[in-house]
């Protein structure tokens, strides 16, 4: 059986976080994940998770000022203090709610050659804090159509960062099938090439980023194949519903029991 996490950054995004967690529980999800939970006190999030029995798989560091174009801070040489505050805040929040991991958002490149080292230094700093808190650090390559200018654009670059940081066991890559299909595809083989580094898998239809079941990726085949290749975690449903979440949730039961042998 496949296990699914509801991405509360996109699902029920009109509701407060506590209500989103309860909605995910009522809809039959196995876990949740969120982008930016910080408007909700961690104690309230923890209580909602306990009430529903759901686990929070991951949260992101604050992205900075998105209205001004920020999408993460960790590679920006002029904003190291702000980036490290965001990292400390995310790790403390994750520890309080028992989340598995924190996605440290790299940010958009302005072409400054110091960005790569800034990202590495901030990740090393995050790994020191996260180790003490029992939380993993995730990095996520994003496609340039959705996230123009984002520093981390490829799975292979993310794997290179892991190598540079001595394959630290607390540093993992977010394998978002949506972004990785747009930037090269060949999803199963690329998963296998980097299997030991993958901390979490997300998915959505491509190219629309809506419910699975349409589009160019056959998740009824791919998700069981990823599981057969060794992935044991939750599959994060990070898509924008076509109408309401509930109307589009037919995929949950059918994908949960998908097997490599087909229906
Ligand atoms: O956009 C995505 O994909 C995400 O997973 C967010 O966490 C932003 O990086
Ligand atoms: Mg993603």
Assigned domain for 13 exists: yes
pLDDT level of residue 263 (50, 70, 90 thresholds) = low
Assigned domain for 53 exists: yes
CATH number at residue 73: 3.20.20.150
Distance separating alpha carbons of residues 84 and 72, to the nearest angstrom: 11
From 140, 206, 210, give the residue whose CB has the most ligand 1 atoms within 8 Å, as the site to mutate. Answer: 140
Looking at all shown ligands, the one closest to residue 107's CA atom is 1
Q: Look up the pTM and report it.
A: 0.97
The yes-or-no answer on residue 238 being catalytic is yes
Assigned domain for 262 exists: no
- ipTM of the prediction: 0.96
- Tens of pLDDT, residue by residue over 118-168, are 999 999 999 999 999 999 999 999 999 999 999 999 999 999 999 999 999
Mean of the pLDDT values across residues 11-15? 97
pLDDT level of residue 248 (50, 70, 90 thresholds) = very high
Assigned domain for 263 exists: no
Distance separating alpha carbons of residues 221 and 106, to the nearest angstrom: 31
The yes-or-no answer on residue 140 being catalytic is yes
Mean of the pLDDT values across residues 179-190? 98
Nearest CA to ligand 1 atom 2: 142
Assigned domain for 261 exists: no
Domain of 66 in residue numbering reads as 4-256
Assigned domain for 230 exists: yes
- Tens of pLDDT, residue by residue over 27-63, are 999 999 999 999 999 999 999 999 999 999 999 999 9
Distance separating alpha carbons of residues 142 and 153, to the nearest angstrom: 5
Q: What percent of the chain has pLDDT over 90?
A: 97
Nearest CA to ligand 1 atom 8: 35
Total tally of structural domains belonging to the chain: 1
Assigned domain for 238 exists: yes
In the predicted structure, residue 94 carries a pLDDT above the cut 90: yes
């Amino acid at each position: 059986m496949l296990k699914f996490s509801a991405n509360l950054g996109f699902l029920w995004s009109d509701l407060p976080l506590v209500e989103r967690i309860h909605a995910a529980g009522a809809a039959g999800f196995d876990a949740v994940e969120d982008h930016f939970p910080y408007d909700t006190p961690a104690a309230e999030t923890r209580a909602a998770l306990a009430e529903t029995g759901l686990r929070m798989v991951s949260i992101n560091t604050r992205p900075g000022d998105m209205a001004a174009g920020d999408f993460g801070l960790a590679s920006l040489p002029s904003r190291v203090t702000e980036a490290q505050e965001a990292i400390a805040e995310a790790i403390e929040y994750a520890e309080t709610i028992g989340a598995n991991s924190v996605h440290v958002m790299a940010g958009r490149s302005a072409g400054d050659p110091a960005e790569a080292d800034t990202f590495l230094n901030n990740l090393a700093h995050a790994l020191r804090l996260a180790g003490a808190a029992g939380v993993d650090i995730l990095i996520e390559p994003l496609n340039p159509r959705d996230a123009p200018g984002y520093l981390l654009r490829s799975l292979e670059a993310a794997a290179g960062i892991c190598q540079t940081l001595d394959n630290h066991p607390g540093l993992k890559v977010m394998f978002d099938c949506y972004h990785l299909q747009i930037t090269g595809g060949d999803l199963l083989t690329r998963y296998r090439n980097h299997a030991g580094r993958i901390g979490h898998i997300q998915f959505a239809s491509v190219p629309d980023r809506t419910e699975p079941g349409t589009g160019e990726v056959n998740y009824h085949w791919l998700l069981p194949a990823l599981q057969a290749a060794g992935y044991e975690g939750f599959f994060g449903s990070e898509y924008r519903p076509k109408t309401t979440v509930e109307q589009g949730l037919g995929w949950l039961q059918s994908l949960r029991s998908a097997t490599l042998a087909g229906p």
